[in-house]
Amino acid sequence: MVVIGAGQAGLAGAYHLRRTGFEPERDFVVLDHAPAPGGAWQFRWPSLTYGKVHGMHALPGMELTGADPDRPSSEVVAEYFAAYEQAFDLRVRRPVEVRAVREGSAGRLLVETSDGTWSTRALINATGTWDRPFWPHYPGQETFRGRQVHTAGYPGPEAFAGLRVVVVGGGASGTQHLLEIAPYAARTTWVTRRPPVFREGPFDEDAGRAAVALVEERVRQGLPPRSVVSVTGLPLNDAIRQGLADGVLDRLPMFDRITADGVEWDDGRRVDADVILWATGFRAAIDHLAPLRLREPGGGIRVEGTRAVADPRVHLVGYGPSASTIGANRAGRMAVRDIRRLLAEDAVAV
Ligand SMILES: Cc1cc2nc3c(=O)[nH]c(=O)nc-3n(C[C@H](O)[C@H](O)[C@H](O)COP(=O)(O)OP(=O)(O)OC[C@H]3O[C@@H](n4cnc5c(N)ncnc54)[C@H](O)[C@@H]3O)c2cc1C
């Protein structure tokens, strides 16, 4: 068995494989192309401290306790994942880049990597989204003389000192960037495609379940998943309330074009800018699965539980409705249960 990715989703999957009696290296391998433990967290900006992440769930079987909320989450989570891999002896192989997964012989899949090819009866794909930042295209983008940065390369607020910054995107990252940058920048401007939705009141379990159900329904229909956060709305916490009161979170509709010096709207408005910061999200990093032709005409992969409908050997964990730390945990368990069933049926068939 092959697990691709050693973020929250891949480690949860590996943990459940181990608990079920599968031995690392003998029965399964975990492959990851990052240089060190930590999944995508290791690449997140230093000002995203552990105290600022909203609801990170621990991995199954080992709590994350006593972390200093002022330390960067990149460090806290990387250390926790490293300890977890050791505690459960998961023996993640890295850096190993999975380049393609193809049909093999005798009903097996071939996983082609930078370190050889594996043949497997089942696959847990847990490759997240960090490796596929989404950059929208707007007319004139290539003429812009300033700097364009994506959340994936966000360097922290100090880098924007004295600059005029346009932040694009109405999600959690966009608002966090704005609130951080505003005290340093000469000016910030916030543009979003749709008016942002702020969520009053507590985000309880029912609201969470309803949000996950919406994403789940898209994935069941074979549509590209939307992030769970995109359907939950932005929590009206103290920082956001302050940003609204200060005008930092005054939002403009999406501009119509980019010029050499900034952005412009059809109604004649314009804003000069030194930097455009694209907080426009990520897409599932699943290009290596392309040879299996799992995509539906709608552009997404149809998934029931965690299993790809078009190929029951392939499980997508951390995809769509399970793209949160708690969702990844549950999906890891569900995938392993399903794989055991598949292998048991195979054994009977033999
Ligand atoms: C800025 C930001 C803040 C967030 N904050 C929260 C939060 O507070 N709470 C929460 O629940 N969720 C949060 N999320 C979402 C959260 O990060 C994810 O739900 C979860 O951590 C993702 O885990 P994952 O294992 O699916 O992906 P990742 O952590 O991205 O792990 C995927 C792994 O796969 C590897 N990989 C990818 N492609 C390949 C390949 N081809 N070959 C080999 N290896 C590969 C990568 O190296 C990586 O280690 C946040 C997301 C972002 C972007």
In the reported structure, the alpha carbon of residue 55 is separated from the centroid of ligand 1 by a whole-number distance in angstroms of 14
Q: Is 11 in the pocket of ligand 1 (CB under 6 A)?
A: no
- Establish whether residue 33 lines the binding site of ligand 1, counting it when its CB lies within 6 angstroms of any ligand atom: yes
Confidence of residue 201 (pLDDT cuts 50, 70, 90): low
List b or e across 217-251, with b for residues whose CB sees 16 or more CB atoms inside 10 angstroms. ebbeebbebbbbbbbbbbbeeebbeebbeeebbeb
pLDDT at 321: 84
- For 80, the token pair is 């926790």
At residue 349, the pLDDT reads: 47
Q: Which domains does the chain have, with CATH numbers?
A: 2-131+283-349 (3.50.50.60), 141-197+233-278 (3.50.50.60)
Q: Which atom of ligand 1 is nearest to the CA of 38?
A: 49
Query: Ligand 1 centre and the CA of 41: distance in Å?
Result: 7
How far away, in angstroms, is 130 Cα from ligand 1 center?
6
Tokens of 123: 């696959």
Q: Of 194, 185, 204, 211, which is closest to residue 277 (Cα–Cα)?
A: 185
| Spatial CA neighbour of 41 closest among 25, 22, 57, 24 | 57
To the nearest whole number, what is the mean pLDDT of the chain?
A: 92
What's the confidence (pLDDT) of residue 343?
Answer: 84
Nearest partner of 14 among 338, 340, 332, 343, judged by Cα: 332
Query: Going by C-beta distance under 8 Å and a sequence separation of 6 or more, which residues neighbour residue 66?
Result: none
Cβ contacts of 281 within 8 Å, gap of 6 or more: 129, 133, 134, 151, 169, 171, 173, 227, 230
Q: Three-class SS of residue 81?
A: helix
Report whether 154 contacts 130 (CB < 8 A).
no
CA distance 85 to 9: 13
Over residues 117-173, the pLDDT tens digits come to 999 999 999 999 999 999 999 999 999 999 999 999 999 999 999 999 999 999 989
β partners of residue 155: none
Main-chain dihedrals φ then ψ at residue 252, nearest 5 degrees: -110, 155
pLDDT of residue 202: 62
Q: Which of 2, 29, 33, 90 to mutate to test the pocket of ligand 1 (most atoms within 8 A of CB)?
A: 33
- For residue 173, give the ligand 1 atom closest to its CA: 1
Residue whose CA lies nearest to ligand 1 atom number 17 = 324
Residues whose CB is less than 8 angstroms from the CB of residue 206 and which lie 6 or more positions away in sequence, other chains included: none
Q: Residue 226's pLDDT is what? A: 74
